[in-house]
């Protein structure tokens, strides 16, 4: 019922997070530790460093979450943890912690698919949002269009055939010496730049299906930087490069999402919502482009607030709540999975 409280745990990448969420959508506490500073010197997430940092921090964050609310484990309705897909060392840390808490306190355990957690976040922020809806999931590890037909009922309409979109942002940022993660830095520079200065490819635009490709775009940016030489290091040039890159990405997303919306509408005449999720959904320019494209096709865009777009434990707890409602729980034997398609 509404007063049920679920503990969520997220450790699949470089965020260590715990959250206590009530079934009536109240976030009771949600401490989060970002390992950014630990990975930044390496220009990307180092799996072994991530796993060790999760071990160091997770217990403390869980204790902090519980103390902030003043409840004990026995007061929980269940424990939910990301069980994949993700960096396996980190996933094991989170899942094992959840299993232990569940076992010792005789609580239901939910092994959450991280992608499902991103997918269901929209129902956490928009209580009236019913199935089915169309999901565009764009993160550091994923880029896919999914018809969400129910909890556990997902149909993939398209996916990336090479890089994830966040990865492309991060690589472009790296080439420009902007540090890691690159998405926010690229967006900030792009805001002041000329999106038409550099002609860049729009991979797969106009082709059948809803798949994505970003490696050719990334390579085109590299060639552009090489051709520019030292000029590429100038602030004004970097702004124009970022703006041109972001505009190309926008065109690709709009083209692919529009195709998906048309096909989705044919299958589900009353499904008129496009949900944007994943870390790249934090990008304001891309949100605006997709919002306009959706409106043009009679869809509304639901995009969670930034803190719920990037990795967090609130979405994991919420996925746990959705699963518990359906009595879809797991036993202690459930494995941690590096790969786990929706």
10 Å CB burial of residue 44 (0-12, 13-18, 19+) is middle
Q: What is the CA radius of gyration of the chain?
A: 20
Q: Of Zn ion, ligand KG4, none, which one does residue 187 interact with (CB within 5 to 8 Å by kind)?
A: ligand KG4
Does 140 count as an annotated binding residue? Answer: yes
Does residue 142 have a known ligand-binding role?
no
Nearer to ligand KG4, 27 or 45 (CB): 45
Give which of Zn ion, ligand KG4, none residue 282 binds (C-beta under 5 to 8 Å, depending on kind).
ligand KG4
CB of 269 to ligand KG4, least distance (A): 31
Maximum distance among all Cα pairs of the chain, rounded to whole angstroms: 63
| 14 binds Zn ion per the rule CB under 5 A | no
Distant-in-sequence, close-in-space partners of 127: CB < 8 Å, separation ≥ 6: 25
Q: Binding residue per annotation — 268?
A: no
Residue 103, marked binder: no
Q: Of the two residues 51 and 238, which places its CB atom closer to Zn ion in the complex?
A: 51
Residues 123-142 that bind Zn ion (CB under 5 A): 139
Write out the residues near ligand KG4 by the rule CB under 6 A.
13, 139-141, 166, 169-170, 181-184, 187, 278-280, 282-283, 310-311
- Other C-beta atoms closer than 10 Å to the C-beta of 91 total 28
Q: Say if residue 139 carries a ligand binding annotation.
A: yes
Which of 76, 73, 70 shows the shortest CA–CA distance to 3? 76
Binding at 184: pick from ligand KG4, Zn ion, none (beta carbon under 5-8 Å per type)? ligand KG4
What is the Cα 37 distance to its own chain's centre?
Answer: 20
With beta carbons less than 8 A apart as the criterion, state whether 145 and 257 touch: yes
> From the CB of residue 272, how many other CB atoms can be counted at a distance below 10 Å?
17
Q: Which residues are annotated as a binding site for substrate?
A: 137-141, 170, 183, 187, 283
Residues lying near Zn ion in the complex (CB under 5 A) are found at 139, 311
């Amino acid at each position: 019922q509404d007063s049920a409280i679920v503990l969520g745990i997220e450790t699949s990448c470089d965020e260590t997070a715990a959250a206590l969420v009530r079934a009536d959508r109240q976030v009771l506490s949600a401490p989060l530790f970002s390992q950014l500073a630990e990975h930044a010197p390496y220009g990307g997430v180092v799996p072994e460093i991530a796993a060790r940092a999760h071990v160091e921090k997770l217990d403390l964050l869980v204790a902090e979450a519980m103390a902030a609310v003043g409840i004990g484990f026995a007061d929980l309705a269940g424990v939910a943890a990301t069980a994949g897909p993700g960096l396996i060392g980190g996933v094991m840390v989170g899942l094992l912690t959840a299993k232990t808490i569940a076992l010792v306190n005789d609580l239901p355990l939910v092994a959450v698919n991280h992608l499902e957690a991103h997918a269901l976040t929209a129902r956490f922020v928009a209580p009236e949002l019913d199935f089915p809806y169309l999901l565009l999931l764009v993160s550091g590890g994923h880029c896919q269009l999914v018809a969400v037909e129910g909890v556990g009922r997902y149909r993939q309409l398209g996916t990336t055939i090479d890089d994830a979109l966040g990865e492309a942002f991060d690589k472009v940022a790296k080439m420009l010496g902007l540090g890691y993660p690159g998405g926010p830095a690229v967006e900030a520079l792009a805001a002041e730049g000329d999106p038409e200065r550099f002609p860049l490819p729009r991979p797969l635009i106009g082709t059948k299906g809803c798949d994505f490709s970003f490696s050719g775009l990334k390579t085109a940016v590299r060639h552009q930087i090489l051709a520019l030489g030292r000029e590429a290091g100038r602030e004004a040039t970097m702004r124009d490069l970022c703006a041109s890159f972001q505009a190309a990405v926008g065109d690709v997303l709009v083209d692919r999402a529009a195709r998906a919306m048309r096909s989705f509408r044919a299958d589900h005449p009353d499904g008129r919502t496009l949900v944007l999720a994943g870390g790249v959904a934090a990008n304001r320019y891309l949100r605006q482009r997709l919002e306009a494209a959706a409106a043009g096709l009679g869809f509304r865009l639901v995009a969670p607030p930034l803190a719920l777009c990037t990795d967090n434990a609130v979405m994991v707890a919420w996925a746990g709540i959705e699963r518990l409602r359906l009595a879809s729980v797991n036993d202690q034997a459930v494995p941690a999975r590096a790969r786990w398609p929706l």
